[in-house]
Amino acid sequence: MREFAVKHRDRVTFVCLDDKSKLDFGEPGAALSSGVRGKKSVVPTTSTLSCLDHDVGQKGSITPSVCLNVEIPETPDGSFYRGQVTVIFKDSIFEPSSPFRHAVEIQNILAQEGTFKPVLMLFTDGGPDHRVTYHAVKLSLIILFRRLGLDMIVAGRTAPGHSWANPAERIMSLLNLAFQNAALTRNECTSAVEQALRSCNSMEDIRKKSRTVPGLEDAWVASLQEMEKMLQERVERIQLKGQNFKCLSAATKDAINEFEDDIQNIDPELVKGQYQQVNVNKKQKYQDFLKTHCLERTYTFQVRKCNDATCCVPPVIQFPWLPDPEIASDGQHFKPFDEVLGFPTTEKDRPSSQRQTLTAIAEDQQGCKNSVLVGQNVRQTVHCHECGKPRCVYSKSSFTSRDTRSFKRLIESHDYTCGSILTPDGHILQGKAFVRLQMCCTTPIEFAYFASSSIVRKDVCCHCGSFGAERDKDLMQNYRVVLPVCINCKHLGSPKRNPIRK
């Protein structure tokens, strides 16, 4: 991607994106500290330095999204850590990160900077809102491609566990200078809203309460504005290579809904919010667009104008696809970029598919052997943000009360998706809590879920996660283990194992 950007640097906009770790804030009159332990704070001598520790339970948080519009160097080995940095503060409860929100914000950032070049290259980490194998991400990029009138868009993501390769990660250390030792608290809402919030103990509780209490969402967002303004003032004092950071407002719900409505222009049969493989694999116009305009890979997704004048405005320059790395004849190095550019390539030499089995890679990433992931080690469950299925959380030892609180805050602060690593680096549960990585949203619920004694309700369909499912009585006569399936998923079959010998 760097070599491609340098080769066409006058026609390419190279953008790196990432979300910083969430900033917890306290309730009115009980500010939370964002400080670093052992560091001194600068305060007036007449004031009292009093603030709750950052690990005290809280109800909300703010997510800073970072966008680095790279100043592309003249050579591939030049620095990609120069350019304009834009930070957007979003409420984690009512303004969560999503593919369509990111696409709208990219559109706003480029409009503010006036940089509309024919090729847009995006580089992100592998989070669920950036994973280019998800159709929600693909659709958001296709709409962005059309709205900006681009000739080509290239979206790439880092491999699992390699988010350090994203240039936007380096910006986080600068943001720490602005965020450390700040007392964060929201303003007080009306007495009716505060009374409703008093019974909420988590972000999910607040979302549910907003559906029944009129005006709660608007009041909550308004109570954060003064705190966000203070953080923006601190961020705008920071510089990257002499260039001040900028701050931009988060995309509104109306703008996101209007943007997402454009899926009807891709395929009128697409339904908002239903972007799983089972929902889109029979949408013919969308599938035809993917075949004629897109190149799909494990870590990249590309959209390009076709040669049909009745479909796309002919580009001034027909840019070649970003090629896949291919091993040279010596078997030790990859071919130079210029040797593969413009030629059809495949993923056969992708490093993660070489020399190791899928199981070995998964066990290395998840931090434990698959033999540990059994029913007796199930301690908690976590629901996938995409498919909604419950997935097992394993641990060799039982969770302490502190582990349980940490796990609850973890799943409130992050969106889990099937096949993702559960704990971020440095988390208290890292090395203790594990999830199975060899799965995706189409994978049935694990056998361990139904074998665990800690799971109370087990009448869950193993395919869709709905309640009221039953096990096939005929299969139970021939197999010791048969998973329940609902009426709507009977055509998918019931997973079974351990046949009974008669």
Q: What is the mean pLDDT of residues 90-109?
A: 92
Q: Nearest to residue 410, comparing CAs of 424, 400, 420, 426?
A: 424
Q: Nearest to residue 145, comparing CAs of 255, 263, 250, 254?
A: 263
The first and second tokens of residue 394, run together, are 């394993």
The full 3-state SS of 365-399, as one line of letters, equals HHCCCHHHCCHHHEEEEEECCCCCCEEEEECCCCC
Whole-number pLDDT of residue 309: 83
Where helices occur in 99-158 by DSSP H, the ranges are 99-113, 135-147
Q: CA–CA separation, 384 vs 97, rounded Å? A: 15
Provide the CA 301 distance to its chain's centre, in angstroms.
16
Of the listed ranges 241-245, 282-286, 407-411, the one predicted with least confidence? 407-411
Where helices occur in 97-224 by DSSP H, the ranges are 99-113, 135-147, 169-179, 191-198, 203-210, 216-223
Give me the half-sphere count of Cα atoms (radius 13 Å) on the Cβ side of residue 404: 6
Whole-number pLDDT of residue 21: 82
Q: What is the mean pLDDT of residues 194-209?
A: 86
Confidence of residue 48 (pLDDT cuts 50, 70, 90): low
What residue ranges do the domains of the chain occupy?
A: 2-36+53-170+178-187+224-291, 188-219, 318-348, 358-499
Q: What is the mean pLDDT of residues 240-259?
A: 93
CA distances from 104 to 249, 302, 327 (A): 11, 18, 38
Whole-number pLDDT of residue 317: 86
Of the listed ranges 1-10, 327-336, 349-358, the one predicted with least confidence? 349-358
Please compute Rg for the chain using Cα positions: 25
Q: Read out DSSP for 248-288?
A: EPPPPHHHHHHHHTTHHHH-TT--TT--SHHHHTT-HHHHH
CA angle 422, 207, 416 (to 5 degrees): 15
Q: Nearest to residue 18, comparing CAs of 152, 175, 151?
A: 175
Whole-number pLDDT of residue 7: 93
Q: In the predicted model, is pLDDT for residue 44 greater than 60?
A: no
CA distances from 264 to 153, 199, 259, 277 (A): 20, 40, 11, 17
Q: In the predicted model, is pLDDT for residue 396 greater than 60?
A: yes
Q: CA–CA separation, 275 vs 494, rounded Å? A: 24
Q: Is 18 in contact with 125 (CB distance < 8 Å)?
A: yes
Q: What is the mean pLDDT of residues 426-440?
A: 87
The first and second tokens of residue 408, run together, are 């609850």
Report the mean per-residue pLDDT for the chain.
Answer: 87
The first and second tokens of residue 229, run together, are 């303004």
Q: What is the mean pLDDT of residues 353-370?
A: 74
The residues near 457 (Cβ < 8 Å, ≥ 6 apart) are 467
Whole-number pLDDT of residue 440: 83
pLDDT in tens, 435-461: 998 888 888 999 989 888 888 788 899
Whole-number pLDDT of residue 124: 93
